[in-house]
Amino acid sequence: MSEGKKTKFVTTGRNKEWTQGAVNPPVQRASSIIFDSVSAKNHATINRAGKTLFYGRRGTNTHFAFQEAMTDIEGGAGCALYPCGTAAITNAILSFVSSGDHILMVDTCYEPTRDFCEKIMKKMGVETTYYDPMIGKEIESLIQPNTKILFTESPGSITMEVQDIPTLSRIAHAHDIIVILDNTWAAGVNFSPFEHGVDISVQAATKYIVGHSDVMLGTAVANEKCWDQLREQSYLMGQCVSPDDAYLGLRGIRTLDVRLRQHAQSSLKIARWLAERPEVDHVRHPALETCPGHTYFQRDFTGGNGLFSFVLKTSHPRATTALLDHMQHFSMGYSWGGFESLILANEPKSFDALRTVAHPHFTGTLIRIHIGLEDTDDLIADLEAGFQRYQAVLDSLSDE
Ligand SMILES: *Cc1c(COP(=O)(O)O)cnc(C)c1O
């Protein structure tokens, strides 16, 4: 019997085999798994890659439950677990490249993804070409005979460009190139990677999957074509997570869909309020027309979340500092995807180090916010007070 999408978040990963009759699976801690007989040991050895207790590094029932749930949600053939999102990204890449290969990397990738290419891939003889997130079918001109991976992230980190994943995937596949997507923003829920041509969908489960800002966790769900290689190569690189963290990832899934819908509703309201502010040049929220790639968002995504950016008309670090200091509900902090609101600023100059081809076309300060589950009225009041502090600094400067 097929299930509705909401029902799936409740039922997935709850086989009796994993739960032992409780609602949730127990946290099963194990390094050694012990066998009653030679034949039981042989059975486990033969089936060690397929959710069978074998040795702790291959996972326990707690891990199997979480992996099954992730695969159910995203739609692939299997899910590998990593101690953080960055490990998921680097292992997904490492599992498929050899010395002499070439990677096409979106210019708006998460900063450590770029650093990995520059500081580790390069010294192993793997070259990276960065491409504009809005390149579309022109990607073909950047493909080399040795191109192995097309890496995408949509929307892009900080500047939020939504990519045309189906077009990019179609062209990549025509050249036998593997498509990897950093699917953290959609949380595996609001963008179906495999229906849009992706081969491996990576997530910082640290963000919305866990959802409570208290666990580091990474996942990579692969299609049939890539699953065996991803699983075995990641295993060889020693990638595994604690059962407690897998448990918390699975628990996050139970409320993932409702949390995302609330984050999305609140963030859209605040994005629209920001768009009307005199201090704001434009808002980069995928659900608004002023976000690059908005039409792809409308075409390919089924919902949003709490993370977006807006650009101020001016760049004045002292005024920005006045805005950011003394916020009541927005905390300054890296990461996002928890229940709480966050805020960070990027002066336009900071993009010099973060971009090589898609340099931003704006000149004001970019502010990235994560809208948590607080009342939107409280958050708007907080931003309004911040804008007053910001304007006060600008006014005092024009008096000088
Ligand atoms: C946070 C983040 C990561 C890295 O995840 P960690 O768990 O912090 O290593 C990767 N990609 C995106 C888009 C992120 O926001």
Candidate from 81, 84, 86 with most ligand 1 atoms within 8 A of CB, to mutate: 86
Q: Which residues contact 290 (CB under 8 A, 6 or more apart)?
A: 275, 282, 283, 284
The pLDDT of residue 187 is 98
Candidate from 117, 206, 309 with most ligand 1 atoms within 8 A of CB, to mutate: 206
- Which residues contact ligand 1 via a Cβ below 6 A? 84-86, 110, 153, 157, 182, 184, 204, 206-207, 216, 218, 335
The pLDDT of residue 2 is 66
Q: Looking at the CA of residue 157, tell me the nearest atom of ligand 1.
A: 13
Contact 331, 340 (CB under 8 A): yes
Two structure tokens written together for 53: 């207790």
Between the two ends of the chain, the Cα-to-Cα distance in Å is 72
Q: How many angstroms does the Cα of residue 42 sit away from the middle of ligand 1?
A: 39
Model confidence at 89, in pLDDT bands (50, 70, 90)?
very high
Q: How many angstroms does the Cα of residue 8 sit away from the middle of ligand 1?
A: 25
pLDDT digits (tens, 9 = 90+) for 35-45: 999 999 999 99
Q: How many angstroms does the Cα of residue 49 sit away from the middle of ligand 1?
A: 27
Two structure tokens written together for 90: 């680097």
Q: Which residue has the tokens 């005979």?
A: 145
The mean of the pLDDT values for the chain is 97
Model confidence at 122, in pLDDT bands (50, 70, 90)?
very high
The pLDDT of residue 348 is 92
> Nearest residue CA, atom 8 of ligand 1?
85
Q: How many angstroms does the Cα of residue 85 sit away from the middle of ligand 1?
A: 5
Q: Looking at the CA of residue 337, tell me the nearest atom of ligand 1.
A: 15
- Furthest-apart CA atoms within the chain: distance in Å: 85
Query: Which residue from 330, 325, 360, 361 is spatially nearest to 343, judged by alpha carbons?
Result: 330
Contact 128, 90 (CB under 8 A): no
Q: Looking at the CA of residue 206, tell me the nearest atom of ligand 1.
A: 7
Q: Which domains does the chain have, with CATH numbers?
A: 5-254 (3.40.640.10), 256-399 (3.90.1150.10)
Candidate from 107, 110, 111, 308 with most ligand 1 atoms within 8 A of CB, to mutate: 110
Length of the chain: 400
Quote the CA–CA distance of 224 and 227 in Å, as a whole number. 5
| Distance (Å) of CA 386 to CA 38, 279, 317, 381 | 68, 11, 14, 9
The pLDDT of residue 106 is 98
DSSP 23: S
pLDDT digits (tens, 9 = 90+) for 144-195: 999 999 999 999 999 999 999 999 999 999 999 999 999 999 999 999 999 9
Two structure tokens written together for 74: 């995203």
Contact 107, 355 (CB under 8 A): yes
> Nearest residue CA, atom 5 of ligand 1?
85
Model confidence at 397, in pLDDT bands (50, 70, 90)?
confident
Give 71's Cβ-side CA count (13 Å radius). Answer: 18
Contact 68, 15 (CB under 8 A): yes
Q: Looking at the CA of residue 204, tell me the nearest atom of ligand 1.
A: 5
The pLDDT of residue 4 is 83
| Distance (Å) of CA 369 to CA 21, 34, 270, 273, 400 | 41, 49, 10, 14, 32
Q: Residue 227: is its pLDDT beyond 80?
A: yes
Quote the CA–CA distance of 160 and 176 in Å, as a whole number. 28
Quote the CA–CA distance of 136 and 22 in Å, as a whole number. 48
Sheet of 200-204: strands edge to edge?
Answer: 78-82, 218-222, 200-204, 178-182, 147-153, 102-106, 127-131
Two structure tokens written together for 322: 């006045």
Contact 221, 193 (CB under 8 A): yes
Query: Which residue from 97, 91, 148, 87 is spatially nearest to 125, judged by alpha carbons?
Result: 97
Two structure tokens written together for 59: 């996972």
The angle formed by the CA atoms of residues 174, 229 and 62, to the nearest 5 degrees, is: 125
Amino acid, res. 285: H
Candidate from 181, 184, 185, 210 with most ligand 1 atoms within 8 A of CB, to mutate: 184
pLDDT digits (tens, 9 = 90+) for 1-30: 567 889 999 999 999 999 999 999 999 999
The angle formed by the CA atoms of residues 197, 79 and 225, to the nearest 5 degrees, is: 45
Q: Which residues are catalytic?
A: 57, 110, 182, 207
Model confidence at 400, in pLDDT bands (50, 70, 90)?
low
Quote the CA–CA distance of 93 and 82 in Å, as a whole number. 13
DSSP 120: I
Q: Looking at the CA of residue 88, tell me the nearest atom of ligand 1.
A: 9
Q: How many angstroms does the Cα of residue 161 sit away from the middle of ligand 1?
A: 17
pTM of the model as a whole: 0.97
Query: Which residue from 51, 46, 47 is spatially nearest to 62, judged by alpha carbons?
Result: 51
Q: How many angstroms does the Cα of residue 47 sit away from the middle of ligand 1?
A: 32
The pLDDT of residue 398 is 80
pLDDT digits (tens, 9 = 90+) for 349-371: 999 999 999 999 999 999 999 99
